[in-house]
Structure 1
């Protein structure tokens, strides 16, 4: 039981360290330059995702 608890705390600590390192090193997001989360019918072309790799017409 002690090994399982130690492993769980180590995993949570590692996840916390990765999140903290990401927050420290990344720049803040600019909500005015961010792409829309849902762009249905907006006329904008898809980019930067797996759906953007579809062949053209």
Structure 2
């Protein structure tokens, strides 16, 4: 789920608080990694509107 700002961030934060393991995604690495650190989640930089990025291996 996108989770670096707004309602996506709030949803990710709530899911973590409820005990879920969350991996957020977003286009902006810096903002995404900072948000993920704040809520103890993982982060993957990806633009979900570009199908070729979905096929790219993640590290």
Q: Which structure has the larger Rg over C-alpha atoms?
A: 1
TM-score (norm 2): 0.24
- Where relative contact order (Cα < 8 A, 6+ residues apart) is larger, the structure is 2
Bigger share in strand: 2
TM-score (norm 1): 0.25
